[in-house]
Each structure stands twice: as structure tokens, then as C-alpha cells.
Amino acid sequence: MTAEYFTYEGVLFPCMNFSSETLSYMENEFQVQDNDIFNITYPKSGTTWMLEILSLIRCEGDPGWVRSVPNWERAPWVESQSGLEAALKYPPPRLLTSHLPVQLFPKSLQRSKAKIIYTLRSPKDVLVSLYHFSYIMHIFKSPSSMDTFLEDFLSGNVPYSSWFDHVTGWMGLRGNENFFSITYEELQQDLSGSVRRICRFLGKELSEEQLAAVVENASFQSMKGNKMSNFSQMSDEYMDHQKGELMRKGICGDWRNHLSEVQSQRFDTVYQERMQRLGVTFPWD
């Protein structure tokens, strides 16, 4: 089976489980609700990790929900066809996940008080994580080599298109009181402090014990062993479980094991060109 992509308003999407009709509905008709919480990322930036953290915060650290309901039901991936169906049936307050770039996000966001949590990750680690994941997921094309995949990533010829456009687009909302951004690297460095910051943004108060339970149940090891969070229950139609897993390494800086000096420098050149105007310094800079 060869994965195919299509373009919607200049952004690349997999054909499997996505359509122009669904994306147009999302952009123009989907009604964002004031009490929605959106978990937004460019793929491979910490989506499932943040989803787990938000699920656990919602349950005050009680792991019952994350151990009994698959993550794609706890926070549906709204722009996919199956995710949109689930989102439309979700009783409020909704927890929703999206990789959409800001310009394709539902227009109704502007009139709402919904909260956006945007998680970013070192783009070299995103590239490496996506490279591996692309061999496992049937919706993505398998890369022919790291050299070609690097060029595809830098030019935005990958699903959801350019990392640079995604990040500069969403980070344009910083300063907005309903927008909160955090990096995968901050989660790694201080998960407890990060959970406290997320709770403050959400207006959720947790006891020290509840906070510790969130941290414990959102650890890499806990999630890797939780079949409701590690994608092991995802249908074979979507994922080749023989080839790898979602919870691959879960570390910062794995790009050093996969990119040559030349590839890394090539990345840096494009990164500097594309990111200098944003005026934000990230942990990986």
C-alpha cells in the first residue's frame, strides 16, 4: 500500500482519513466552544505526552481514565474524519487535539474563550521522530533516505507542510491570554514545574499529591506501558506494529545519532533564515 497526499489551501495532508470536505468544514463551520481545551502541535512534538498530561489534570491525577480509554477518544484528532465525528459527539467540556496550522484552524476560535496549548519541540528531533514514524504509519510515505527526507522536511513537503510556518504561525498568538506555549524540552527538564504552569493557565488547582500523580502517570515509562496511550491498540490498517512504536526513545537530542555534520549544518542554515524574524529563543537555540 503506498500512501498518497493531497493539498488543501497549500498544506499537505495524507489521503487516508482526511479530505478537503472535512478540512473545509473544520475551517469554516466547526464551532469552537468557550470551554474547549485544544492540544495543538506540529506532528511529533509531544502531542500524546501533552494529551496524557491534560487527561490526568482533568482527572486530578487519577489514572483511571488514561488506563481505560484510548487517547484518540480522550482528545480526538479533530481534523481527521474519524476525529471530527468523535469531536462532534464529545460532551463538553471537550479536550481536542489538532496538528492544523493556524491559518486552517476553525475561524470560530476568534470569537471564543477556548484555551490553546501549543507544544513545540526541537525541529531536528521532530525530523528524526517523524522519519522513523513515517515507516510505521500507513498514512505517511516511507522516506527513501535521510538526505531526501531532510530536504522534504525543510521545504515543507511532508504532511502538515512546513514546521517553520506552523511554529511562526501559532507563535503569532503569544501574548493572547487564551494561548499557552511550552516546549517538549521544558517538559523533559521539569515535568512537575511544567504541570504547575499548565494548571495555572487552565485555572485548575491540584494538591501536591495530585500533581505528583500526574507526573508519575505521564512519565515515558508509564505511557509506554499503557496500551491506551502507546498506540499499540491502533488498527493494523493505520499502523505496522512490527516496524516500530510511537513511544520510540522519548529523549532530547536524538538527532545527534541520526544527522551527519553536513545535514545538521544544512538544517541550521535554513533554520536561521526562517526563524530569525520570530524573535523568540527556544531551549534548542
Residues carrying an active site annotation = 99
Nearest to ligand PPS of 102, 126 (CB atom): 126
Residues 147-186 that bind ligand PPS (CB under 6 A): none
Nearest to ligand PPS of 45, 161 (CB atom): 45
Q: Cβ(142)–Cβ(244) under 8 Å?
A: no
**113 contacts: CB under 8 Å, gap ≥ 6:** 34, 35, 178
196 touches ligand PPS by CB under 6 A: no
Residue 275: count other Cβ atoms within 10 Å of its Cβ: 19
Ramachandran region, residue 4 (left: φ > 0; alpha: ψ -120 to 50; beta: rest): beta
Cα–Cα distance between 158 and 27 in angstroms, integer? 21
263 touches ligand PPS by CB under 6 A: no
Cα–Cα distance between 109 and 100 in angstroms, integer? 13
Grid coordinates belonging to 279: 524573535
Cα–Cα distance between 172 and 167 in angstroms, integer? 8
70 touches ligand PPS by CB under 6 A: no
220 touches ligand PPS by CB under 6 A: yes
Convert residues 40-69 into a mask of x (bound to ligand PPS by CB under 6 A) and - (unbound).
Answer: -x-xxxxxxx--------------------
249 touches ligand PPS by CB under 6 A: yes
In the complex, minimum distance from the CB of residue 23 to ligand PPS, in angstroms, rounded to a whole number = 17
Q: Cβ(71)–Cβ(229) under 8 Å?
A: yes
Binding segment (CB under 6 A) for ligand PPS, from list 164-172, 215-223, 256-264, 270-278 = 215-223
Residues 112-141 that bind ligand PPS (CB under 6 A): 125, 129, 132-133
216 touches ligand PPS by CB under 6 A: no
Distances (CA, A) of 126 to 17, 85, 123, 178, 184: 22, 28, 5, 25, 10
Taking CB under 6 A as the criterion, the residue among 100, 218, 228, 239 binding ligand PPS is 218
Nearest to ligand PPS of 113, 227 (CB atom): 227
Per CB under 6 A, residues contacting ligand PPS are 41, 43-49, 125, 129, 132-133, 218-220, 223, 246-250, 254
